[in-house]
């Protein structure tokens, strides 16, 4: 009976949406941009008052509430400049402004959203993201890339076949004309992690992660566990105050494979994983550290912990790529051993002291040591 009611409501919803909503239920979009996720399809001129969108359904494929602006990148009135590196247009959410879209998914599966979000004023701007009845507030006052390319990933578990994906400005700014700039929204289904072969670490090469934009990328910021309990980096916990950055080999230098992690906030950005071990047995932890060829320079020092043991691995970066391999022999004290990695210092690019960066971590492996 419950199944029949659910099916009836789904049919009604589909009919209603197709009748008058431009944000109708999407086709199975499991790995790519959401419909009009880059906002290049704009409102009709009659639905605009300068930059402000008029009408709930005026933004194609989306529903909007409150103050929402349709922005063209470049100089703005009042001396502002809004970079839109992945196209021409973006959305700015004013106080209590929001946009949402219904997405068809596989119930019970895990998904990550990748999106560009930057502040537009020097205030404590917040972007609220929600899906499947889960909500997180992203503090975006810290700018990690000076060209407007800050990109975040946020993960959720689908609690139904259709989820409502919402981006909202909860109105914490003093100036109602300020608000987050939002662009390039995509979704990716997070597939189960294959069982590692010859390695006790799951996803130790970081090859399984959030969607990375192909044409332009400054890396994808992965939020701390307190803001995203379902990590977009399967197998790993972002257990720090600040995010870490997921980088790909097309736009950065990585030690091996397609992807790696950049520790961009010193001790405030750390990742961890709990692995299965046998008490009193010895193991060997190996990992690679280097630089991503992004102009980040200086003495990199990565601290790695395995249970009660630790090692400090140093790499002298010229900002032009390269890496070293470090190792740590440890004895397990229980059936679970925590691995933790962080950078000892803050770093910035040699040509841009506002661009935060750091050492790259890759190819984490643990094997029995005889």
On the CB side of 348, how many CA atoms lie within 13 Å of its CA? Answer: 10
Phi, psi of 267 (to 5 degrees): -70, -10
Measured CA angle at 236 (ends 232, 237), to 5 deg: 90
The helix or strand, by DSSP H or E, that contains position 345, with its residue range, turns out to be none
Instruction: Classify 201 as helix, strand or coil.
Output: coil
Give pLDDT tens digits for 192-204: 888 888 999 999 9
Neighbours of 5 (CB within 10 A): 9
pLDDT at 101: 97
Mean pLDDT, to the nearest integer, of 313-324? 92
| Domains in the chain: boundaries | 21-189, 201-211+223-368
Q: Which residue bears the tokens 């060829």?
A: 293
pTM of the model: 0.89
pLDDT at 31: 87
Least confident of 28-42, 159-173, 232-246, 258-272: 28-42
Mean pLDDT, to the nearest integer, of 19-35? 58
Average pLDDT over the chain reads: 87
Tell the burial category of 356 from Cβ atoms under 10 Å away from its Cβ (0-12, 13-18, 19+): buried
Compute the distance between CA of residue 260 and CA of residue 38 in angstroms, rounded to an integer: 26
Compute the distance between CA of residue 334 and CA of residue 51 in angstroms, rounded to an integer: 60
pLDDT above 70 for 24? no
Strands 309-317 and 31-33 turn out to be: unpaired
Q: CATH number for the 21-189 domain, one of 3.40.140.10, 2.60.120.260, 3.40.50.720, 3.40.1280.10? A: 2.60.120.260
Give pLDDT tens digits for 77-129: 766 777 787 888 999 999 899 999 999 999 999 999 999 998 887 777 889 99
pLDDT at 174: 64
The helix or strand, by DSSP H or E, that contains position 18, with its residue range, turns out to be helix 2-20
pLDDT above 90 for 353? no
Mean pLDDT, to the nearest integer, of 143-151? 80
**For residue 255, what are the β-bridge partners?**
none
CA 329 to chain centre: 33
Evaluate whether 21-189 and 201-211+223-368 have a shared fold. Answer: yes
Mean pLDDT, to the nearest integer, of 17-31? 45
Mean pLDDT, to the nearest integer, of 11-23? 39
- Please report which confidence band the pLDDT of residue 173 belongs to, taking 50, 70 and 90 as the band edges: low
Instruction: Classify 212 as helix, strand or coil.
Output: coil
Answer whether 265's CB lies under 8 Å from 254's CB: no
Rank 69-73, 191-195, 260-264, 317-321 by mean pLDDT and report only the highest: 260-264
CATH of domain 201-211+223-368: 2.60.120.260
**CA end-to-end span of the chain, whole Å?**
60
pLDDT above 60 for 17? no
Compute the distance between CA of residue 146 and CA of residue 121 in angstroms, rounded to an integer: 14
Compute the distance between CA of residue 73 and CA of residue 104 in angstroms, rounded to an integer: 31
- Please report which confidence band the pLDDT of residue 176 belongs to, taking 50, 70 and 90 as the band edges: low
């Amino acid at each position: 009976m419950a199944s029949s009611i659910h099916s009836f409501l789904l049919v009604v919803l589909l009919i209603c949406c197709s009748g008058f909503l431009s944000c109708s239920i999407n086709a199975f979009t499991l790995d790519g941009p959401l419909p009009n996720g880059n906002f290049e399809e704009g409102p009709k001129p009659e639905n605009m008052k300068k930059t402000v969108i008029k009408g709930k359904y005026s933004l194609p494929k989306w529903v909007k509430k409150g103050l929402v602006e349709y922005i063209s990148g470049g100089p703005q009135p009042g001396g502002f400049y809004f970079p839109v590196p992945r196209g021409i247009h973006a959305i700015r959410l004013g106080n209590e402004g929001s946009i949402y879209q219904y997405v068809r998914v596989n119930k019970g599966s895990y998904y990550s959203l990748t999106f560009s979000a930057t502040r537009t004023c020097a205030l404590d701007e917040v972007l609220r993201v929600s899906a499947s009845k889960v909500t997180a507030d992203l503090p975006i006052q810290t700018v990690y890339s000076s060209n407007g390319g800050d990109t975040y990933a946020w993960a959720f578990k689908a609690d139904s076949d259709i989820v409502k994906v919402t981006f909202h400005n909860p109105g914490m700014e003093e100036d109602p004309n300020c608000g987050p700039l939002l662009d390039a929204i995509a979704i990716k289904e997070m597939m189960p992690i294959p069982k590692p072969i010859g390695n006790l670490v799951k996803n130790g090469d970081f090859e399984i992660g959030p969607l990375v934009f192909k044409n332009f990328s400054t890396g994808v910021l992965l939020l701390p566990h307190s803001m995203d309990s379902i990590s977009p980096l399967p197998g790993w916990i972002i257990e720090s105050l600040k995010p870490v950055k997921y980088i790909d080999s097309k736009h950065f230098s990585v030690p091996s494979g397609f992807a790696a992690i950049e520790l961009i906030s010193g001790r405030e950005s750390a990742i961890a994983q709990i692995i299965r071990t046998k008490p009193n047995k010895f193991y060997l932890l190996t990992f690679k550290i280097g630089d991503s060829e992004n102009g980040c320079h200086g003495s990199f020092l990565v601290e790695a912990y395995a249970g009660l043991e630790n090692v400090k691995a140093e790499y002298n970066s010229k900002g032009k790529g390269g890496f070293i391999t470090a190792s740590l022999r440890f004895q397990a004290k229980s059936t679970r051993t925590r691995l933790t990695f962080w950078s000892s210092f803050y770093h910035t690019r040699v040509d841009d002291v506002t661009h935060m960066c750091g050492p790259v971590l890759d190819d984490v492996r643990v094997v029995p040591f005889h």
